[in-house]
Each structure stands twice: as structure tokens, then as C-alpha cells.
Amino acid sequence: MPGSSGRVRLSDVAAHAGVSAKTVSNVLHNHPHVSAETRAKVEASLATLGYRVNLSARALASRQTGFIALAIPGLDNPYYAQLASHVMDAAAEHDWMVLIEQTRSSVDLERAVVSGGGARLVDGVILQPDAISQAELSDRFAHQNLVLIGEGGATASSDHVTTDAVAAARAVAAHLIEQGRTRIATIGIQPQMRANASELRYRGLCQALDAAGLPVRSEYLAPVDRTRRPEAAAAVDHLLALPEPPDAILCFNDLVGSGALARLRERGIAVPTEIAVAGFDDNEESRFTAPPLTSVSWDLEGLARRCVDRLLARSRPGGADLPPVRSVVSHRLAVRESTVGQLAVDEDAALQA
Amino acid sequence: MPGSSGRVRLSDVAAHAGVSAKTVSNVLHNHPHVSAETRAKVEASLATLGYRVNLSARALASRQTGFIALAIPGLDNPYYAQLASHVMDAAAEHDWMVLIEQTRSSVDLERAVVSGGGARLVDGVILQPDAISQAELSDRFAHQNLVLIGEGGATASSDHVTTDAVAAARAVAAHLIEQGRTRIATIGIQPQMRANASELRYRGLCQALDAAGLPVRSEYLAPVDRTRRPEAAAAVDHLLALPEPPDAILCFNDLVGSGALARLRERGIAVPTEIAVAGFDDNEESRFTAPPLTSVSWDLEGLARRCVDRLLARSRPGGADLPPVRSVVSHRLAVRESTVGQLAVDEDAALQA
DNA sequence: GTGAAAGCGCTAACAT
DNA sequence: ATGTTAGCGCTTTCAC
């Protein structure tokens, strides 16, 4: 049992080892210029005294807190939980800790994050904006270590890690059209909301429709207040009540997709026979819905890593003056039974054809 | 636009307002003994200079970091994401920030958390133990601000916020028996794993079976490596291959429940007609599975609040000597269609009877 | 009610 | 390769 873990200071270790504080610090930071025997001596004292660094003191002296903030709408969306998990892993590789901030898609909270919050605390911020306007993002506080996640792409004043929302939406829509769908509705995609991916995903859908010579029909655009499971039911009902109901629904995310599938089931509509359903984000859940949900899968690990790398680059000496970088992470379409009836994944699927 | 947000120190504010640093600090902390006009003056300076407190310095001087750690297996389980969300809310009410630590159910990581980690950083720790043994928990480092979440209940040396796992399992099992089920299997419940709730949940099941005069059949205990959706399939297959397959499956959590439902569907087994399924945790997803999943719902908000309250009590002067407190949060059974076929929730459900 | 001075525990020049 | 000296920006006795 190493040490009784009281308040052991670095200077105590130095005294115990018979060296100066600087030497202890050198050992702690793996500085090269420490003789092997000194190092051993210090490490022994470190262990017997049970020294644990005081991060507040280190942060104050070094002007580096070792924290980065990750601001996301909320952990209750598995997509963001997943993202947070990846960011924490990527950050840990550089000895950074992650402070998760839930913005709840509130403009005020997002604004607070962008402007650095009320306190001086983090070395950098990763923000997934949702409610705040692009204009405000590019305007304010472009000087601080801020990486934006998202698909807007218009912000030239800070680092940006994005996905190609238009291409992804085009791909999933094209897949739907390939399956013979011509009346493709959407749930949760709101082209007027400019902070999140809505507009771009809608654009991708329109491009695919255009390319196939199909009309873009505005009555197929079902809005929801929040893009979550419970909200999907009313939107599905709305679409089913249309004179000519859709034969496919592209959902803003898998949460909405899951809710839509549930409602279609309640209404006795066969998926995909009568209506195909697809989503975005490829939540793990989507491999287990009835039927499994076709979805766009983002490279979340790459996304997280790039965000952290950008912050790292900027926090190095001289990094603050680096020009803003924009990088795009990859995606792929995970095709499942919600859009292709006869996908023969195994012997059982064939029975249901 | 208040201040150009450079490095404004408290002493700068003091100089600008023509007062001492102590007075500025008093204003910041809402100390009563500040005259109204002084306060106004200081607040004006605070605003025009755009002062933001340096939390590292505050932490160093005050010996309080303002952080608590929440150590959970991982955010990818929606149950823990939800818990984290509640803890963050409860902590925010006391101006605490939450540092989320993913233990991945690793003994070493849990041990590191219990022993305070390598660094002096947080004011307290909330740990949901999973892999570490009870013995180790009560042994080591009982002196630090540690609140244990969980159902073990045996640890007398630190604060403990638990659920009544036995009662909850008894309730859901009794419900299953009421529905006429006599062959109740379980997936993911591993009585030999003593850190998580397995043993207690199994005990509750046994109690309910005993009370109904039904036999406890060990072949109905299907283990899994990890209690997650993908692992459920093999367990379901195992149970279906039994000479006398079960007519109900009680899953360790809703993740397993979701995976079990998916596999039963693939195998063409009707739920609940042939096999009823129930879970624990009441994930939001479980209201949208096919069919919706009966589950035990814990009072997560209450759980989070109590954990934070306990930490708060201990971090107050003299709080360290408080005797360990054990408190139990409530639960209720959310009954859904996976266990009762004819539950007439709406007009459509009746058709499927 | 407000001010002056002494640290909190660490890092970072600079010196040796 | 190791020691010396100043702070980092805040809180906190203790005077006044």
C-alpha cells in the first residue's frame, strides 16, 4: 500500500529524495536530462510517499489546464454518446481530459460555449453547433481554440471537421430510388434550420431526385419539433394522411427512424414492402430494429481524432496563428432490410420474402 | 461586446474599480458584507473588462476544484448516458462540474478510480462499480469522498446509493408468473459476478418462483460475456435449443432485451405469445421495440441527486467524519406488450390479438 | 466593510 | 545534469 496518500507535495518528494523540486519535476515529465540513478531515487520517493500531482497547481503554473470541452446537444442521443466516447479516447492519447457540456440545442448555451463560458478553464473547445447561426459562429471569438463539428461548412474563421452531408443524403436517396421508390418523404429535415445538417441533407435528397427525373414534392417534408423517437409518430401519421402517401421515408437521424418504424408497425404498414425507411447516424440500435434500419454511417472515430488533433496543433507554440483547417470525414451507407425487402442476410430472411 | 477577453486578472479588476482584490473576490462570491455602491462599481469593472475567473488558480487557493468524477462502465449504454446526464444536472445546481470516466468494466480502471487516480483533481467521486469486488471496495481508501452506486449494498465504509434489486426482480418475475409463465429463463444474469446486480436480480427471481411454488431451473440461466445487444442472439439460440424451451426470458438489462427481441423475431418466435420478454433499466428505446419491452424503471434523477447530495455533505467542513449513509431509490415496473399480449393501449393493438 | 500580505503546489527561466 | 528563484491568479487570515 504505497503511502497513506496525505497531502504530499512535490517539494516533500524532493526533500525525501535529497534533490531539488526541479529534478522531481523532470522525472515526472520524463525529461531526458536525468541520470538513471537520480531517476530511480526520485521514483522510489514518489512511490513511498504516494505522491499525486495537484493538477490545479500544475495548470496554474503551466498555463495549460489539460482539459478540453466537448459541447454537444445531449448524451441522451446515442450518436452523441458515441461521439463523446471517441473524443474521450482520442483526448486520452494526448493526456487530455474531456469536459462534456450538454447544450440541449439552446442558442444561449451554445453561445456561452463559443465565447469561452464564464470561466477560464479549458485548453480548447469542440462544439457541435445545432441552434446557433453560422453568422454568429464566424463572427464571434474566432481567436480561441475552437473546433466546429458539423456539416455547415461555411465558417471560415475556425477549424472545422465536417461530414459531406449532401453526398451522404444523395447516396441514401439514390439507394431508395434504385429500389424503385419514387415518392420519398422526409421526417425531421428542416431546410430552414441552418445550424444543423437539415438543409444539406435536404439538398442531397433533391439532387438525387433531380438526377432521377423525379419531382421534389414539398408536401413530403414533415417537420418535427425535436428529432427524437416520440416525435416521429405524428409525422408518420401526417404523411399517411396525404392523398398520395409516400413509398419511402428518409429520416433526419436514426432516433426518428426508430420512432417512425414503431409507428408504421402500429399502423399496420409493412416495411419495406409498402414504405421503405432510412436514417442517418447508424446507431447500434438500428441493427436491431424491426426491420433493421438502413442508415448512413459516419466515421466517428476519425471525426473525434481529427478534432482532437486540431486542438493539439493549435495549443502548441505558434499554433494559434495557423490558418483554419477544414476537413471532411468519410461515410458509408449501411444497407439493411428497412429498404430492401429480399436482402438475403441469412436463411431466415428468405422465409419472410 | 463586453471586453476583448484577454487575460484579465482579478487584480486588474480591482485596480480598475479602485478597490482591493479582496473586495472583488467578495463580490464574486456574493458575500453579504459589501456595500451596494461598491458592489455596483466592481460589477461594472467586471463587465467592462470582461473578467473570467481562472478556475485553476481558484482551485489551488481554495483547495476545492469544483469537479466531481463520475465513473461508469461506458456512455454507450444508454442507461449510463442517462445517468450521466442526471448527475451533470444535479451537480450543476451546486456549481460542480462532472468529469466522466469510462471504466469499461475493467478492474484496473475501477481500482484507479477508487484509489483517487494518479492525480489530485476532484472533490469527490461517484462510482458505479461493475468488476471490482466488494471486499476491495470496503477495504481501500474508505476515507476519500466516494459514493458508490449499485445494488451490492454490503459496503459499510462509504456512502452508498442503491436500488432494491431483489425487490425489483421479484416484481418483474411475479408479473411474468401472473401472466401464466412458468418456465422463466434469464439472459445475462450471472450470480457469480458479485460486483454488479446479477446476484441480487437472480435472487429476486428465485424468490418469486418459490413464492409461486415453481422450480428454479439452472438450465434457464444463459450467461453472456457482455450484457449488450449483440450478445443476446447466442443466448436466445441456446435457450431455444433446450428440450423444454422457456416461455419467458428475463434479461439483465434492456440492451440484452432488445437483442433478444431481435433474435426471437429472426427465429420466428412470437412475443409474447410464445415467449414473453422483460428487461431492466427502461431505456427510452424500449418503448419503441417490437413489441415494446416490459422493464424495470429506476428513479435515475433521484439516484443522481442523492449521489451529489452525499458528496456535498461530505465536502462541507466536518463532513468527512460523517458516518456512511446508505439510501435506496425507488423503482417501478413499466409493463408493455412484450409480456402482456392483449394490453389494449390503443385501437390498433386490439387487431393483433 | 475593506485592504495588505502570505501562501496554495507547481513550472519555467536562468544559473551552475 | 541539477539547483535557485520567481511567479501563475486566486483565496484567505488578519488587521484596520
Least confident of A6-10, A205-209, B93-97: A6-10
**Could you check: is the Cβ of residue B57 within 7 Å of any atom of nucleic acid strand D?**
yes
pLDDT band at A120 (very low <50, low <70, confident <90, very high): confident
Residue B152: its pLDDT value, please?
Answer: 61
**Over the stretch B243-268, which tens digit does the pLDDT of each residue have?**
999 999 999 999 999 999 999 999 99
Extended strands (E) in A49-165 = 53-54, 67-72, 97-102, 119-120, 124-127, 146-149, 159-163
pLDDT band at A343 (very low <50, low <70, confident <90, very high): very low
Higher local confidence (pLDDT), B140 or A262:
A262
Cross-chain Cβ contact A52/B348 below 8 Å: no
Task: Assess contact for A288 and B262: CB atoms under 8 A.
Answer: yes
Highest mean pLDDT out of A280-284, B193-197, B223-227, B316-320? A280-284
Search chain A and give the residue with CA nearest B283: A76
Chain B interface mutation, best of A62, A99, A106, A120, highest count of B Cβ atoms under 10 Å: A120
* Per-window interface: A 131-150 vs B, CB < 8 A: 141
Burial of A37 (0-12, 13-18, 19+ CB in 10 A): exposed
Residue A153: its pLDDT value, please?
Answer: 55
Least confident of A276-285, B138-147, B167-176, B294-303: B138-147
Cross-chain Cβ contact A259/B288 below 8 Å: yes
B324 CB-near residues (< 8 Å, 6+ apart): B156, B157, B158, B159, B160
Search chain B and give the residue with CA nearest A65: B56
How far, in Å, CA of A91 to CA of B101, rounded? 12
Task: Assess contact for A78 and A285: CB atoms under 8 A.
Answer: yes
Residue B140: its pLDDT value, please?
Answer: 63
Q: Which of B5, B53, B59 sits opposite A56 (nearest CB)?
A: B59
Contacts of B53 in chain A (CB under 8 A): 118-120
Residue range B122-138: average pLDDT? 85
Residue range A89-94: average pLDDT? 95
Give nearest nucleotide to B24 (CA–C1').
Answer: C2
Start-end of H helices in chain B = 10-17, 21-28, 36-49, 55-62, 78-92, 107-114, 134-139, 165-178, 198-211, 232-240, 254-266, 300-315, 347-351
**Could you check: is the Cβ of residue B45 within 7 Å of any atom of nucleic acid strand C?**
no
Residue A154: its pLDDT value, please?
Answer: 58
In this prediction the pTM is 0.92
pLDDT tops 90 at residue B336: yes
Does residue B53 sit at the A interface (CB-CB below 8 Å)?
Answer: yes
| Distance in Å, residue B76 CA to nucleotide D9 C1' | 39
pLDDT tops 50 at residue B347: no
| Distance in Å, residue A21 CA to nucleotide C15 C1' | 16
Cross-chain Cβ contact B75/A82 below 8 Å: yes
pLDDT band at A348 (very low <50, low <70, confident <90, very high): very low
Residue B189: its pLDDT value, please?
Answer: 87
Q: In chain A, count of helices (H) and strands (E)?
A: 13, 14
**Over the stretch B269-314, which tens digit does the pLDDT of each residue have?**
999 999 999 999 999 999 999 999 999 999 999 999 999 999 999 8
pLDDT tops 70 at residue A148: yes
Paired strand residues for B328: B162
pLDDT tops 60 at residue A86: yes
pLDDT tops 80 at residue B346: no
* Per-window interface: B 278-317 vs A, CB < 8 A: 284-285, 287-290
Chain A interface mutation, best of B64, B102, B121, highest count of A Cβ atoms under 10 Å: B121
Residue A350: its pLDDT value, please?
Answer: 36
Residue A131: its pLDDT value, please?
Answer: 84
Averaged pLDDT of chain B: 89
